[in-house]
Chains A and B, each alone.
Chain A
Amino acid sequence: MPKTIMVVDDEPDVRNTVKTVLEKNGYKVVTAVNGDNCLEKLKTEKPDLILLDIMMPGTPVREIVPKIKGTKIAYLSVVRTGEAEKEDLIKNNIVDFIQKPFDIKELLERVKKIVGD
């Protein structure tokens, strides 16, 4: 059974690129265009990992994350945060913080590390 990754990003380029790369590497990929859309899709999908853009239109991520129970989340962030701040953000089911723009190979390695092949 392939692992399922949900890619949540308002930028179609990012969604599509990440989706293509992950699918080529054997993952099943579900996409969502913002946090609210992610919550909606989680009613029917049970991903192993959510790649969640930290800044999107709609409900702020800080309000979306507490509603996601039991699924690992890795932030994708164009925003620069302080080191202490980053450590503070990585807690509970938030397992990684991936700075944009990211190298696609590095992203893949980090996804593999979190959920396996």
Chain B
Amino acid sequence: MLVTKLEILRELEQDDALLLLIPSNEYNSVVLENIRQLAKEPVCYVTLNKTFASLKETFEQNDINTKNIVFVDAISQNIKKVPKQTKGCYYVSAPNALTEMAIAIVKVLRHNFKYLVFDSISSLLVYQKNAPAAKFTSSIVNNTKANKAKAVFYAIKSAEHEKILNDIGMFVDRVVDLSK
């Protein structure tokens, strides 16, 4: 399968929560192609590895309409002074502030958002131990389903995280391994 040609909308027709295991060299192109397809409907985009400004810049340079996207940015507050929220973005103090992040996500999802994109489990694992990361993911999946939204979790496929990604795979409806 040519990874960037993944039809994420079709994948989400069948299941409500997906974990995408992405080869690192294809990561950015998969992220772009997916959001291009998803952003036709309201999307809550949680970022743990790029700032809101960086993502917005990248998406707009690639002609992706960001009007339907509300971001939850867990990076910017750590590196610069930002308000709690701004147009199109909620800021969370740090990638390990899981309660704060969960509150921000639920706050967004309550407003009839169709998709949640979580970018990414791999970044979460930089700041969190396996058990809290798995528990957090499970809680986000449940909250997404409770709000009748669909979730896509990204992770870079790596031997280092094989066990925890297997564990997290139990909380989603399906794991899509794009390296196969």
Binding site for B on A (CB under 8 A): 54-55, 57, 60-62, 78-85, 88-89
* CB-defined contacts of B93 to chain A, threshold 8 Å: 60
Total A-B pairs in contact (CB under 8 Å)?
53
Q: How far is the CB of A109 from chain B (nearest CB, A)?
A: 24
- Contact B54 A60, beta carbon cutoff 8 Å: no
B82 to chain A: closest residue by CB: A62
* CB-defined contacts of B81 to chain A, threshold 8 Å: 62
* CB-defined contacts of A81 to chain B, threshold 8 Å: 50-51, 53-54, 79
Q: Which 6 A-B pairs have the closest CB atoms?
A: A82-B53, A80-B50, A82-B54, A82-B57, A60-B78, A85-B53
**Which of A60, A79, A82 lies at the interface centre, i.e. has the most chain B CB atoms within 10 A of its CB?**
A79
Instruction: Contacts A55-B126, A78-B49, A81-B54 known; list 8 others, CB within 8 Å.
Output: A55-B79, A62-B78, A80-B50, A82-B51, A82-B54, A82-B57, A85-B51, A85-B54
Task: Decide if B95 is an interface residue (CB 8 Å cutoff).
Answer: yes
Q: How far is the CB of A73 from chain B (nearest CB, A)?
A: 12
- Contact B80 A57, beta carbon cutoff 8 Å: no
Binding site for A on B (CB under 8 A): 49-51, 53-54, 56-57, 75, 77-81, 93-96, 126-127
Q: How far apart sit A60 and B76, CA to CA, in the bound complex (Å)?
A: 10
Q: How far apart sit A81 and B58, CA to CA, in the bound complex (Å)?
A: 10
Q: How far is the CB of B25 from chain A (nearest CB, A)?
A: 13
Q: A60-B93, A60-B94 are in contact. Are A88 and B80 (CB under 8 A)?
A: yes
B52 to chain A: closest residue by CB: A82
- Contact B49 A62, beta carbon cutoff 8 Å: no
* CB-defined contacts of A54 to chain B, threshold 8 Å: 78-79
Q: A60-B79, A61-B78 are in contact. Are A82 and B49 (CB under 8 A)?
A: no
- Contact A79 B49, beta carbon cutoff 8 Å: yes
